[in-house]
Structure 1
Amino acid sequence: MVYKPKNINFKKAEAAAEAAKKSYGTKKVADSYDPWTIEDNKDYELESKKIIEIAKKYGNHNNKTLLDIGCGTGTHLSYLEKHYDCTGLDPFESMLRVARKKLKKTKLIKGDMRYFNLKKKFDVIISLYSVISYSGTYSVFKKVLKNIYNHLNEGGILIIDPFFQKEPGKKGDKYWLYNEPKKWIKIMSDIGFEAKFYKTKFLDNPKKGLYIAIKR
């Protein structure tokens, strides 16, 4: 079921979605995405192992189900599906087409993070590679987080990876939300999460980190 929250100006958010579509939504990009990230030295296996460790340390004790929002070509899920009952959500069929070729057990759904409704709750929800920053505005960002909150089991954990700095001259910059730890943590706390910023050394940028938010 698809729904759009009322009283929200989606104009900028729609522009953000369009910018994402131009960047990631074409067959050409989807087909070249994996080779490009490998060339960029992105270590999906290491990142997936760390995600599992973080979820075990901070999340609930069940940790049986996982949702990847903005799963792309499904490379993280190819490792995670060995440990969880996984679901992948992505707005682009071109990306999901590639993901289907490599995933054996994961359920893949075409959908938008702003207004998806899967009628199911998860123990772990992840959104990596700065997908969450395509919310476009803080009002939409809050709606996305509330929707995620409603899809988590009690004690479930949300792990997200934001944009950390602007990339001058790159199309779509003005539509992205950039990392503001105090502001992001307050928003998450107001929704009901117990949130913290977790500095890491395993992402592609050593100055990066992840937000960890627990549903209490």
Structure 2
Amino acid sequence: MYGREVAEIHDDLNSSRGKDYRSEAEYLAEVVRRHRPGARSLLDVGCGAGGHLEHFAELFEHVEGLELSQDMLAAAHAKLPAVPLHPGDMRDFRLERRFDAVVCLFGSVGHTRTEDELRDTFACFARHLTPGGVILVEPWWFRDRFLDGYVSGDVVKTGSRTIARVSHTVGSGDSSTMRVHFLVADRENGVRHFEETYEHRLFRRDQYASAFAAAGLEARYTEDVQGGRGLFAAVVREERS
């Protein structure tokens, strides 16, 4: 999953398919500062090949990234040689500093497999917040909004390469499986084919809310942003006397 061949084309492919990393980063920075005025530092968990992080680096004084896939991390390193990037699992990582904002985008949190893992993930995020900091999480699709059997297909040209991507996503119980086939063609290498499979947990919205609460966080959800999956913004819950 998220191997070298995908890491090589990931951000260029998604940009060509219509994903605007710059606009999303600007929107997310605005949300961060709405909750944490003057925010200066940000950690991107599941940063992938650095598509958002390269723009966060222009919008915040200090940014860092965390990524489980070594191939994705290598691609991000090539793009952002001056940014601290860490290998790690979102469910249990320990960095030496805290951040004004912790973000987890592109539905990456859906790779957690159980509610316990989701709670551990949010608790881990919270441990890396400065006082008054904010967590932004773009969920994977909620179970009641998931389209079983969904098919997606695109052919794009980026630089000297032409890339075709076709996917088929099916549900089974509370999980989804996305199988993606890629064809990449260029003058030097001809045409090559590879495929990847991605597993996500189809949590309900109330399960996300419960996991945030278990981590001592109060979360609000905004509909229909981030490609339609929405966005949770969470802060440490204030104790009421």
**Do they fold alike, i.e. is TM over 0.5?**
yes
Q: Does the residue aligned with 1:100 lie in a helix, a strand or coil?
A: helix
Of 189, 204, 208 in structure 1, the residue corresponding to residue 227 of structure 2 is: 204
> Structure 1 segments of 4 or more deviating over 6 A?
none
Are 1:194 and 2:218 an aligned pair? yes
- Give the conservation status (yes or no) of the 8 Å contact 2:46–2:68: yes
CA shift for structure 1 position 35: 2.6
Aligned residues, how many?
A: 189
Partner of 2:68: 91
- Give the conservation status (yes or no) of the 8 Å contact 1:89–1:109: yes
Q: 1 CA distance for matches of 2:147 and 2:85?
A: 31
Are 1:67 and 2:43 an aligned pair? yes
Partner of 2:176: 173
Q: Does the residue aligned with 2:91 lie in a helix, a strand or coil?
A: coil
Are 1:110 and 2:133 an aligned pair? no
Partner of 1:10: none
Residue identity in the other structure for 2:17 = D
Q: Percent sequence identity over matched residues? A: 25
- The aligned runs of 1:42-81 (5 Å cut-off) are 42-58=19-35, 60-81=36-57
Q: Which has the higher strand share?
A: 2
When normalised by structure 1's length, the TM-score is 0.81
CA shift for structure 1 position 179: 4.5
Are 1:214 and 2:235 an aligned pair? yes
Q: Which has the higher helix share?
A: 1
Q: 2 CA distance for matches of 1:115 and 1:48?
A: 25
Q: 2 CA distance for matches of 1:183 and 1:114?
A: 16
Alpha-carbon deviations, 1:104-141, whole Å to 9, x = none? 53211111111111132111000000111101111111
- Give the conservation status (yes or no) of the 8 Å contact 2:115–2:207: no
Q: 1 CA distance for matches of 2:233 and 2:209?
A: 9
Unmatched segments (≥5 aa) in structure 1? 1-21
Q: Does the residue aligned with 1:61 lie in a helix, a strand or coil?
A: coil
Residue identity in the other structure for 2:218 = E
Residue identity in the other structure for 1:173 = S
User: Compared with structure 1, are the counterparts of its residues 167 and 77 closer, same or farther at alpha carbon in structure 2 (3 Å cutoff)?
Assistant: farther
- Give the conservation status (yes or no) of the 8 Å contact 1:195–1:214: yes
Q: 2 CA distance for matches of 1:34 and 1:144?
A: 25
Alpha-carbon deviations, 1:8-64, whole Å to 9, x = none? xxxxxxxxxxxxxx2x1x111111212321222101001000001100112x23411
Taking only aligned residues, the RMSD between alpha carbons, in angstroms, comes to 1.9
CA shift for structure 1 position 177: 2.3
Q: 1 CA distance for matches of 2:86 and 2:236?
A: 24
- Give the conservation status (yes or no) of the 8 Å contact 1:166–1:173: no
